Amino acid sequence: MALNLDSIGKPIGPVTKEYTWKDVVLYALGVGAGFNELEYCYEKDLKVLPSFSIASILNIDFLAILAETTNINLAGILHGEQELIFHNPIPTEGTLTTTGSVTHIYDKGDKGALVVAEFDTVHSNGKKLYTSIVTLFSRLDGGFGGPDAPVKEVVFPDRDPDHVIEGVPTKDQPLIYRLTGDVFQLHVDPEFAKMAGFEKPIMHGLCTHGYACRALTQSLFPGKPEQMRRMTCRFSKTLYPGEAVKTLVWETGDGQALWKTVHSETGVEIITNGECEYGDVVEETVRFDDRVAVVTGAGAGLGRAYALELAKRGAKVVVNDLGGARDGSGKGTSSPAEAVVKEIRDLGGEAVANFDNVATPEGGENIIKTAVDAFGSVDIVINNAGILRDKSFTKMAPENWASVLAVHLNGAYNVTRPAFRVMKEKGYGRIIMTTSAAGLYGNFGQTNYSAAKMALVGLMNALKIEGAKYDIKVNTVAPLAASRLTEDIMPEDLFKKMKPEFVSPMTLFLCSEECPVSGNIYNVGMGFFNRAAMVTGGGAVVGDGETVPSPEALMAKLEDITTMDQGKEFQHLNDQVGEIMAAFSPKG
Ligand code: NAI
């Protein structure tokens, strides 16, 4: 049976796994630690090797679902590449919840196929521990006519490595390692190994990976495994138990190294293309514990990403979504909002669903009532719900104009107004408007959308002034992200890179207690951030202020009037009026 190409993007998990200090120690013993690294093997002051994160005991169920979802042919499956990104230190016990999805399926023709999946693991302490990007090489699934994988080769420095650390797995090493979860016969059964074309059972690739992880830790940040930030590699050749390996490490920059693990005698590369980043963890200080957040249109796209990240960082979230069509037509359905609430609850967070229409005042009132009834208050509102009805201007029928303004502009008014009352009362609030480059700069066929999106900037400008004395801050994001609104506008390659999650850091920062600004607009997408602003030029006086100047007189001074030299931002209408007055005041 062929690979299921439709599995790309489908959520996998959550898969939950409890572990204790004994699992941590068993893993360390399985990858060769002993009395020389007692910190990984003794429950007193126990530390966790970073590579424990992909120990089979934690991941086997997830990988089984991944295999089933993609329909990968298990007979030809190999672990191709592994990337691990560490967000927080791994505790010595607890419950882990893993969710993810297949991100790419590549076709390597006769050689096979590559299935790439990315997943996040969150600990029962509420912290995201690590992101794992696994590439499975399926030897028997190629030739379906898909795109080939982009090639990424690490170029090792042309000099001796800075560190060489030898590891000697025992002849019985796989017998211990397999107890961490991967009980595949290839690593234990001599007959099976022969059938598969090997002399005898071979080492688990992830066991050798554990040796490499120990080597990196010993050489770059001894005794401080929590400093591992990122570890990537490609599995290259198999290894027999009892054969020594050397991990070669080149320090290439501040907190950066390249590495590979080679056979000590033959020099054959067993694991290659290794990169390692290390340094202190940036502590998760942006938290929303005890905060109540309302995210409109949170059943998909950007809103879903915001709702999940807010909940992971402690917020109680109202997930609002009407569940209608892309153009706002149809009756709507409760399933998108309900699915996101389930995702949040599965990760141990708190959320309730709401299916009201932001486009009506009653809908807005009810969304805020849902927050107050369920969680007692509202601290954060993200006005995110949106639809599109693109038409060139002469074809822009009144209903297309009205419905886009109703959702984007009226929607923000309908939801923010009842929330503002609560925020004013409590003396705290964070409000986000969602604008668009189409509104800020213009786009063909989007007069309705551009007008609505720019109107939201006006709403922000006035509301930031009304909210200032109550610590209510109002800011605006102009996102760029892959969603159903952009799927037919963006080239496929770009679309895949524009994950909505890249927009969340800015939106969350603007929602946080730490946010120092109000009335700002930020463009955000793919990890790029910049601020957009209304800037006013220095201007010029034409005439004497007593007689009305002629258009000709104005034209004569057009350059001075138009130039943005000495451009400045005003925070209030009065600042601009003051500027005009000042132009006619006698200069001191
Ligand atoms: P999306 O279509 O994935 O999400 C919008 C959500 O809003 C949908 O789940 C939809 O069901 C919901 N919704 C629509 N009308 C609603 C209503 N009346 N009441 C409640 N929920 C409603 O799209 P995406 O891209 O995540 O858009 C989010 C916001 O970001 C929108 O305001 C959009 O205009 C804005 N935006 C997105 C850009 C992008 O590159 N994706 C670019 C610029 C702005």
CA distance 414 to 383: 10
Residue 6 has pLDDT above 60, yes or no: yes
Q: Give the closest residue (by CA) to ligand 1 atom 40.
A: 480
The pLDDT tens digits for 371-430 are 999 999 999 999 999 999 999 999 999 999 999 999 999 999 999 999 999 999 999 999
299 alpha carbon – ligand 1 mean position (Å): 9
Residue of minimum CA distance from atom 11 in ligand 1: 323
Location of each CATH 3.40.50.720 domain in the chain = 292-532
Atom of ligand 1 nearest to the CA of 303: 26
CATH 3.10.129.10 domain extents, the chain = 12-142+153-278
**In the annotation, is 211 catalytic?**
no
DSSP state of 536: B
C-beta separation of 500 from 493 below 8 A: no
Mean pLDDT, the chain, as a whole number? Answer: 94
Ligand 1 lined by 307 (C-beta under 6 Å): no
The answer to whether the CB of 387 is under 6 A from ligand 1 is yes
Asked whether the whole model's pTM tops 0.75, one would answer no
State whether CATH 1.10.287 applies to domain 535-588. Answer: yes
DSSP H or E stretch at residue 249:
strand 245-253
Residues of the chain with CATH 1.10.287: 535-588
Distance, CA 407 to ligand 1 centroid (Å)? Answer: 10
Which residue puts its alpha carbon closest to atom 43 of ligand 1? 436
CATH homologous superfamily, domain 12-142+153-278: Hotdog Thioesterase (3.10.129.10)
Task: Confirm or reject: Cβ of 336 under 6 Å from ligand 1.
Answer: yes
What is the mean predicted confidence (pLDDT) over 364-377?
A: 98
Q: Say yes or no to pLDDT of 489 above 80.
A: no
The set of residues, in sequence order, having a beta carbon less than 8 Å from that of 94 and lying 6+ positions away, is 18, 19, 123, 124, 125
pLDDT of 79 above 60: yes
pLDDT, mean of residues 111-137: 92
* Identity of residue 50: P
pLDDT at res. 2: 84
Taking the CA of residue 389 as centre, how many other CA atoms within 13 Å lie in the half-sphere pointing to its CB? 22
| Strand 128-138 to 256-263 pairing | unpaired
Local confidence band at 252 (pLDDT 50, 70, 90 cut-offs): very high
Q: How far is the CA of 417 from the centre of ligand 1 (A)?
A: 20
CATH architecture of the domain 292-532 equals 3-Layer(aba) Sandwich (3.40)
> Nearest to residue 17, comparing CAs of 71, 43, 54?
54
Q: What does the pLDDT average to over 355-361?
A: 98
Would you say 173 and 241 are in contact if contact means Cβ atoms under 8 Å apart? yes
Contact between 535 and 564 (Cβ < 8 Å): yes
> Which segment of 167-171, 208-212, 544-548 scores lowest on mean pLDDT?
544-548
